[in-house]
A and B are shown apart, each in its own frame.
Chain A
């Protein structure tokens, strides 16, 4: 009885979030159409298709689980770009909803914001949800992922993501009264900074995009379970990578890999990966469908050790 009420409340919140994200995307799409028609505000949509990348789960330009050195949107070096995304990930016992906005200036600087809602939909913790804000900034340092086909020099960017965990909701309904913060699960902090460097190169001759990232992080499950932990509180340096084969100008298939730290005794986090299909029919719209595998989540607590994997769907509009 109580469980179903929790579920109702949670779905109401989820519906609200989706409608907010929907209207956000709708207004941006409308804006993008108007901006495109009149070229107002100097939005030139001057970059090549796909070079605005996609939104990763934290809202930075990239794809899936991993950011790239590419700057969001389609504004060239004389202009600006923007992108809005809504991404839904359905795992066996967990769902992740992410939506947000990113803006770019001069194909050089990217600022992003993403809201994440992580719902437990299985195991004994069914009903709990965690919300998080992610603020991102990325600066392109040098190179160009596409033009320098006569050299190995990639596009190189550095970035940061500041994550602020808003806490755990509804734990009292599943017998964990008073559990309101990931710090009670062993995390040392409910907010934290990630720092990364990304190198992205399109090998046009092979129709291949390669992206390599090094990240300094203390985040547990992307920050959803806080930062630092009882096992380890230092920054870990972790590699990430993406490879995409460009089938058509509008269509790419590939995968992302991301290594993660293991800071918490209540969560045997390991590396995660995804395999994706990305479709960009126009510079104003893209869709990414993927299979994502995050490994086990909170297994020592839930006693459910199975791999948390499932579909990932992301819709993005921008200019």
Chain B
């Protein structure tokens, strides 16, 4: 029984892990595999459009300079995917402190980013590898106890990534 169980799990894991792989995956950074600067900038532009049209989260951008936001989001995505960029915005914790972000809002943003990657035809498994780097930020972004009835909106003073109001966070 244990033997068949082991064989079964191994087969599935191998089938899954041994699936389609980029031959040069070991050499290229995730940033390069996605398509470098032009692709990443396109994703950020798409994302900004999608997020601003998304009623679940667009009110958090009410007082955000979207030009600055796009620049910082590009820097961040480029930086965490080992691209040649430096993130000059505030830390995730600092930037979201006053926003009462819920898990549902964090997930809505993730869905919008998936949608932006889809629009630019970035393969799903590469999208997930970016999400690996973003998912742990949930701890800093989501406010514990933030509920669906928290009053966010026009009075919110900042959005994230927020304009460079504090010293740049150190590079990885």
Contacts and interface: CB of A to CB of B under 8 A. Distances in A.
Interface of A: 42, 44-49, 76-79, 107, 144, 146-150, 204-208, 239, 241, 243, 245-249, 254-255, 257, 259, 270-271, 273
B138 A204 contact: no
Interface string B102-114: 1111011011001
Nearest to B16: A245
A298 B102 CA distance: 51
A234 B137 CA distance: 46
Contacts, number: 95
A208 B104 contact: no
Contacts of A249: 114, 118, 124
Interface in B11-35: 12-13, 15-17, 19
Contacts of A107: 103
Contact of A76 (B9, B103, B129): B103
Given A150-B136, A243-B16, A255-B8, 6 more contacts: A76-B103, A76-B107, A77-B103, A78-B148, A207-B124, A257-B9
Given A46-B107, A150-B136, A255-B12, A271 B124 contact: no
B131 A254 contact: no
B72 to A, nearest CB: 22
B168 interface: no
A273 B132 contact: no
Contacts of A257: 5, 8-9
Contact of B135 (A79, A146, A245, A271): A146
Contact of B147 (A78, A241, A246): A78
Contact of B125 (A147, A207, A255): A207
B132 A243 contact: no
A193 B154 CA distance: 52
Given A147-B135, A147-B139, A245 B15 contact: yes
A190 B66 CA distance: 64
B171 interface: no
A65 B59 CA distance: 43
Interface residues of B, number: 35
B105 to A, nearest CB: 8
B103 A205 contact: no
Nearest to B30: A205
Contacts of A79: 104, 148
A205 B9 contact: no
B128 interface: yes
Contacts of B103: 46-47, 76-78, 107
A204 B131 contact: yes
A248 B124 contact: yes
Given A207-B128, A255-B8, A255-B12, A46 B104 contact: yes
13 contacts: A46-B107, A48-B110, A76-B104, A79-B148, A149-B132, A206-B16, A239-B5, A241-B5, A241-B8, A245-B15, A246-B124, A247-B124, A273-B8
Nearest to B105: A46
B165 interface: no
Which 8 residue pairs of A and B lie closest in terms of their CB atoms, listed nearest first? A46-B104, A245-B16, A76-B104, A243-B12, A147-B138, A150-B136, A149-B135, A149-B132
A206 B19 CA distance: 10
A78 B9 contact: no
A205 B8 contact: no
Interface in B74-117: 102-105, 107-108, 110-111, 114
Contacts of A42: 148
Contacts of A239: 5
Given A149-B135, A241-B5, A206 B107 contact: no
Nearest to B107: A48
